[in-house]
Amino acid sequence: MSETTSQITPARAKPWNDPRVRSLVFQLVAIAGVMWGGWTLVDNTLANMEARGISTGFGFLEQSAGFGIIMSLIPYEATDSYGRTFWVGLLNTLLVSGLGIVAATLLGFMIGVARLSSNWLIAKLSLAYIEIIRNIPLLLQIFFWYFAVLRNLPSPRQSVELGGLFFLNNRGFYLPDPIALPGFGWVELALAIAIASVIALRIWAKRRQQATGQIFPTGKVSLAILVTLPVLAFLATGAPLDWTVPELRGFNFRGGITIIPELAALWVALSLYTASFIAEIVRSGILSVSKGQTEAARALGLRQGLTLRLVVIPQAMRVIIPPLTSQYLNLVKNSSLATAIGYPDLVSVFMGTTLNQTGQAVEVVAMTMAVYLTISLLISFVMNLYNRAVALKER
């Protein structure tokens, strides 16, 4: 007996059949392949750039750009450096993305809720909106707003006017610009104090409620503090704010804030398009909260509004947040379509004009891609933090 068992010692696997050896070999081959591919690319690129007389390195960022940009959030002159064009483009991208995210979220939540309305007309109208807008390419919608709508507005002399303060024409939308006079700092200080005290109040109210069960009307008191303090400071310092009102001089308006049509078209199109996706996300999020939750909340005696705020929305948010994050990321990436209508965003200014003028393709493209990668990682990081905070706490 013992003889026979000792004879069947398991045969040692041949090295090429040993999974560990194989996986090691595969990985080494993969590293070698990627390194070889990368080295070939770098080698080819360097050779090609030398053949075309393109210098390498980031020295070009210091050179004078020599082209104008129609819109800039920071002071910019044509004599400024290429490095500055990068920041101008980046800020413009962030501006339109930020505006778009806010508008798309508001509109998307409204339409998503309207889609579930008990009013047949409203529900069907929201459905029609969603199905039409999200099945039409975004670029086409941007073109529509820019070339078909905003370009066909009246000329500056026949502007649509609102109270002599707001003007709308084919050169843009003009509104009064506030100018802070000395003493406005006090108002800002008052606002900061108000915000700090509201936060303190919330913490105190929550503690008190947990200790005693008494509910403090936090919302109303917060609102009162936020409004009264700055207003009082504003009046006490003698209203230190001036407005420059846009005026028609020559062929165009001067003064005030101008929203150029490129920005307006991009903003409207991005918001409307993304809102249609957000609406579907919101709808499925709300539907995912089972009916028993609502009924249980009502049985506990919570009113309709409180049921929504304390029971339905927090649970729906768990389902809504992950896809909402990817919609925000999409919006930021889609804002690069600006280049098709000439809004000076990062891609249009830096990857367009700067790249064409300097020919430094590798550096410019790498910087642009790095920006989008950073924004992407940042938004997903923040949303993941939030998601972790609202996720189901399983014990």
Partner 1 sequence: MNQPTVSPPKAPVAPIQWMRNNLFNTWYNSLLTLAVGYLLVTSAAPLLNWVFLDATFSGESPSDCVGEGACWLFINQRLNFFIYGFYPEDQQWRINLMFGLLALSFIPQFIEGFPARRWLGIFGMTGLPILGYILIPGGSFGLESVPSHRWGGLMLTLILAYVGIFAALPIGILLALGRRSHMPVIRGFCVVFIEVWRAVPLITVLFMASVMLPLFLPEGMNFEKLLRALIGITLWQSAYMAEVVRGGLQAIPRGQYEAASALGLGYWKKMGLIILPQALKLVIPGIVNTFIALFKDTTLVLIIGLFDVLGAVQSTVTDPAWQNVAIEGYVFVAFCFWVFCFGMSRYSQNLERKLDTGHRT
**Which chain residues interact with partner 1 by CB under 8 A?**
23, 26-27, 30-31, 34, 41, 44-45, 47-49, 51, 117-122, 125, 131-132, 135-140, 143-144, 147-148, 151-152, 290, 329, 333-334, 336-337, 339-340, 347, 351, 355, 361-362, 365, 368-369, 372-373, 376-377
Shortest reach from residue 43's CB to partner 1, in Å: 9
Closer to partner 1 by Cβ: residue 235 or 296: 296
Shortest reach from residue 347's CB to partner 1, in Å: 6
Closer to partner 1 by Cβ: residue 148 or 391: 148
Q: Angle CA(28)–CA(31)–CA(35) in degrees, nearest 5?
A: 140
> Coil, helix or strand for 253?
strand
Strand partners, 243: 178
Closer to partner 1 by Cβ: residue 26 or 243: 26
Shortest reach from residue 368's CB to partner 1, in Å: 6
Shortest reach from residue 45's CB to partner 1, in Å: 5
Q: What is the DSSP string of 271-313?
A: HHHHHHHHHHHHHHHHHHS-HHHHHHHHHTT--HHHIIIIIIH
Element (H, E) at 85: helix 82-114
Phi, psi of 4, rounded to the nearest 5 degrees: -65, -40
Q: What is the DSSP string of 170-211?
A: TTEEEE-EEEEPTTHHHHHHHHHHHHHHHHHHHHHHHHHHHH
Closer to partner 1 by Cβ: residue 138 or 320: 138
Closer to partner 1 by Cβ: residue 237 or 330: 330
Closer to partner 1 by Cβ: residue 4 or 135: 135
Shortest reach from residue 100's CB to partner 1, in Å: 14
Shortest reach from residue 200's CB to partner 1, in Å: 38
Shortest reach from residue 364's CB to partner 1, in Å: 9
- How buried is residue 330: exposed, middle or buried, by Cβ count under 10 Å (0-12/13-18/19+)? middle
Closer to partner 1 by Cβ: residue 64 or 304: 304
State the amino acid at position 373 in one-letter form.
L
Separation of alpha carbons 387 and 390, rounded Å: 5
CA separation (Å) from 276 to 105, 118, 124? Answer: 10, 20, 14
Considering only CA atoms, which of 279, 347, 345 is closest in space to residue 96? 345
Residue length of the chain: 395
